[in-house]
Amino acid sequence: MIVVFGSINLDLVARVPRIPAPGETVAGLSFATAPGGKGANQALAARQTGADVALYGAVGSDAFADAALANLAAEGVNLGGVVRVSDATGIALISVDAHGENAIAVVPGANVVARAEQVPAEALREGTTLLMQLETRMEEVVALAQRARARRARVVLNAAPAAALPEALLRNVDVLVVNESEAAACAAPLGLAYTPEDFALQIHARFGAVAVVTLGARGALACIGGDTVRATPPDIDVVDTTGAGDAFCGSLAAALDRGEPPRAALPAAVHAGALACTYPGAQRVARPGKGDPPSG
């Protein structure tokens, strides 16, 4: 069972010929809305590998809430832990250029109301995988990681967006996933090296966690049992990189939850992240038997 505690957004996506520079206005090519938020994206990605997934978070009581939850409901993610509050549903303003690269501004809204106490004790037990990110309050992420570790659940943290991480959090994480910029943000306050390989090795040495650094088109590396392991992605035609990291994290958590060792889980996660770049938006609803198999 995978328990996801995290953000739920509605993405407002503009396709543009290039990402605007500061102070510049660029004429857009198209506009669409789509469900998003790192918590929701990762919950959906894990579910699409066949995992049982329960999502805990918060949405508003506005018109965006149902749209933000639509894909999750369609794919069978348990939404009983999602509360509706008076704050507006979180949104992300996303510009995607002609090469599939993106620039994102997030307005968290209801996500700041999500609380660790929403996750009941019975959901955190040995054999459960808890997957979290940093689009909810840091103190809630720390509190839930501590509760989960005390109950012998596996704790997977995607430290995104980039932030300095409290040692109280790192000491309660089994698997840490960051990209290169997030690794740098985490490394500096801890006095660790910035290079991906050194960062992964030093996180593992100091905190005992499996440390994973995603490298974009170069795949990912991880420090597993003191060894550095790498995985490379397949060749793809990039449409949109939005959500690739979330697909990676959801697939990684699902593989670990079904008992695969980290060395086997890493290539599967890299493959899922690459596939996520081949379609627009952060989420894809995929139903077997209709020509569109689940990613990962």
- Cβ-contact 17, 264 below 8 angstroms: no
Angle at 172 between CA 170 and CA 178, to 5 degrees: 40
Q: Is 246 a catalytic residue?
A: yes
Active-site position among 11, 174, 240, 246 = 246
SS3 assignment for the chain: CEEEECCCEEEEEEECCCCCCCCCCCCCCEEEEEEECHHHHHHHHHHCCCCCEEEEEEEECCHHHHHHHHHHHHHCCEEEEEEEECCCCEEEEEEECCCCCEEEEEECHHHHHCCHHHCCHHHCCCCCEEEECCCCCHHHHHHHHHHHHHCCCEEEEECCCCCCCCHHHHCCCCEEEEEHHHHHHHHHHHCCCCCHHHHHHHHHHHHCCEEEEECHHHCEEEEECCEEEEECCCCCCCCCCCCHHHHHHHHHHHHHHCCCCHHHHHHHHHHHHHHHHHCCCCCCCCCCCCCCCCCC
**Active site (catalytic) residues:** 246
